Amino acid sequence: MNAMGDGWMIGAAPILSPMAGYVLLAIFSVLWVALGVWWGRRANSYEGFAVAGRNVGLALGTATAVATWITSNTTMLAPQFALQLGVWGALAYSTASFGLFAFAPMSGRIRQLMPEGYTAVEFVRRRYGVVATGPFLLISLFYAITWLISMSMAGGKLLEVLAGIPYEVGMTVVLLVCVAYTLFGGMYAVIGTDFIQSLIIMIGLVVVSVAVLNQVEIADVHEKLRADRPMLLSIFFPAALMAIFNNMLFGFGEIFHSNVWWSRAFAMREGVGPKAYVLGGLLWLPIPIVAGFLGLAAPALGIGISQPDTVGPLVAATLLGDVGALLVFIVIFCSLASSIDSLLAATSDLIVNDIAGPLVPGGATQKQKRRWSSLSIVALGALAWAVALPNVSDLATVLFFAGPLVGSCIWPIVGGLYYRRPGGIAAAAAMISGSLVGLLAYYAIGWMVASLVGAAVSGVVFALLVWWQPDDFDFELLSQPAPQPSDDVRHIEPTTAAGA
């Protein structure tokens, strides 16, 4: 049995009965759809549907940052990292909080430069031109769909492990619920439900962690690992050390390029974004460390793990019984919903504004965009369902395949936001070269170095081409709103909408 978990093949029975699982699933499905409809009742224009009237306050802004970043990857992959990579694994996952801290000042810069903007791709198009827009749009769509698929898979795995609900059924219901309430309310529904979900997640994690620590002695866990799996405690575990820097750069790339975070920057009131993202990072930072302890405890407790990415829920549910299974179910269901709805809304914005919209002579009307948003949300849900249905891999393998792609976007985004000299050729070459070389590293070495290699190659190429062929961009061009066609049903949001 190696350190990467290839030998974890012992099965474990579900903790909750299928009937209890179906009841919980029904309750939370109805709750989220009802909340989504209620929060989204103001989304009667595309402006409200896509960016919540651009008036989201600090409380809702912080909550949506925390809830979206506490994905099922946090609650399921952090324990998997600890199980496979030891102490460094849990710490490696916590470095993703640095991305939120770094994006805090960037969100203020984005809001300042593009007060009427909608997407990250729109920024790249207006900042770098067509040559860089193509690669960035493909990377953005690929990453968003990959993340959406991994969230869908996590939903099916969770329900199967905790309640014996078939993977296909659980995954389908989770996706349908998120599609339904996002379809009704757009960003209003996403941010509103995120507020409730973030409170539930944080309270649930505190309760679970305290309860587990009351039943497990840290000294016993350490002694068992020292005797049976000393590499998990080693500070010189090569794969774990590489994973630290790889995951940190993956986190930077995820947030810097993803329209999930840009759409929130556009939706928040001016001056709110920097504060919201710093607070969100501080609240998120300890969560993967706490969750990672569950992965370290599994070998010491002799709990059989059939799939490494289910170790966290399984350990908590085994130690705490039905109550633990109930809490884990609620926490992860909330984390799933808070990420899937964000991806559906943000990715539909890309499809509407950066693919469909430019094809319409003179630009699309607000009414057309609103209709296209609904269609694209349904299509994205159907695509994620079809790809996730076979359940062919674990979450880390699925998610980190996109690592080198998003890592290659770090330098073009940072350079484009703050400096005049970077041009379209440098941005495009950096993204393409970083993605290709990073993918080669993914297959030749492993996922734990792919983002690191992609970001490094992209940075070198970007710096060389900026030096060799400097530009002189005028940032004032970004603040000029794109012309909008007249639309007799266009609605202007009230200034108090979504404030908090």
Q: Render pLDDT for 180-204 as a digit per residue (tens, 0 to 9).
A: 988 888 888 888 888 888 888 888 8
| pLDDT for residue 171 is more than 80 | yes
- H or E segment and range at residue 46: helix 46-51
Residue 334 is assigned to a structural domain of this protein: yes
Do 361 and 220 lie in a common domain?
A: yes
How far is the C-alpha of 50 from the C-alpha of 259, rounded, in Å?
11
| pTM score above 0.85 | no
Question: Domain range spanning residue 439?
Answer: 401-476
Do 372 and 323 lie in a common domain?
A: yes
Do 464 and 390 lie in a common domain?
A: no
Do 251 and 282 lie in a common domain?
A: yes
Mean pLDDT across 84-102: 79
Provide the pLDDT for residue 183: 87
| pLDDT for residue 473 is more than 80 | yes
| pLDDT for residue 175 is more than 50 | yes
Residue 157 is assigned to a structural domain of this protein: yes
How far is the C-alpha of 84 from the C-alpha of 92, rounded, in Å?
12
| pLDDT for residue 380 is more than 90 | yes
Residue 132 is assigned to a structural domain of this protein: yes
Do 337 and 408 lie in a common domain?
A: no
Do 108 and 242 lie in a common domain?
A: yes
Contacts of 417 by beta carbon, 8 Å cutoff, 6+ apart: 106, 109, 110, 113
Instruction: Check if the beta carbon of residue 479 is closer than 8 Å to that of residue 444.
Output: no
3-class secondary-structure state, position 248: helix
Mean pLDDT across 32-41: 82
Do 380 and 448 lie in a common domain?
A: no
Do 151 and 187 lie in a common domain?
A: yes
Q: Any idea what DSSP says for residue 233?
A: G
How far is the C-alpha of 408 from the C-alpha of 253, rounded, in Å?
7
> Of 174, 389, 346, nearest to 259 (Cα)?
346
How many structural domains does the chain have?
A: 2
Instruction: Check if the beta carbon of residue 261 is closer than 8 Å to that of residue 99.
Output: no
Residue 313 is assigned to a structural domain of this protein: yes
How far is the C-alpha of 297 from the C-alpha of 415, rounded, in Å?
43
Provide the pLDDT for residue 72: 62
Q: Give the angle 371-375-378 at the CA atoms, nearest 5°.
A: 145
Do 151 and 215 lie in a common domain?
A: yes
How far is the C-alpha of 80 from the C-alpha of 75, rounded, in Å?
9
Residue 5 is assigned to a structural domain of this protein: no
| pLDDT for residue 492 is more than 50 | no
3-class secondary-structure state, position 70: coil
Do 330 and 194 lie in a common domain?
A: yes
Residue 433 is assigned to a structural domain of this protein: yes
Residue 486 is assigned to a structural domain of this protein: no
How far is the C-alpha of 347 from the C-alpha of 186, rounded, in Å?
11
Provide the pLDDT for residue 489: 38
How many helices (H) and strands (E) in the chain?
23, 0
Residue 482 is assigned to a structural domain of this protein: no
Do 414 and 383 lie in a common domain?
A: no
Mean pLDDT across 142-171: 84
> Of 299, 71, 44, 321, nearest to 188 (Cα)?
44
The residue ranking higher by pLDDT, 353 or 68, is 353
Phi-psi region of 483 (alpha: psi -120 to 50; beta: other; left: phi over 0): beta
Provide the pLDDT for residue 162: 75
* CATH number of the domain where residue 126 is located: 1.20.1730.10
> Which neighbouring-strand residues pair with 56?
268
Cβ atoms within 10 Å of 468's Cβ, excluding its own: 9
- H or E segment and range at residue 56: none
Do 176 and 250 lie in a common domain?
A: yes
Tell me the pLDDT band of 440, cut-offs 50, 70 and 90.
very high
Contacts of 343 by beta carbon, 8 Å cutoff, 6+ apart: 144, 147, 148, 151, 260, 380
The highest-confidence range among 72-86, 217-231, 340-354, by mean pLDDT, is 340-354
Q: And the tokens for 443?
A: 């297959």
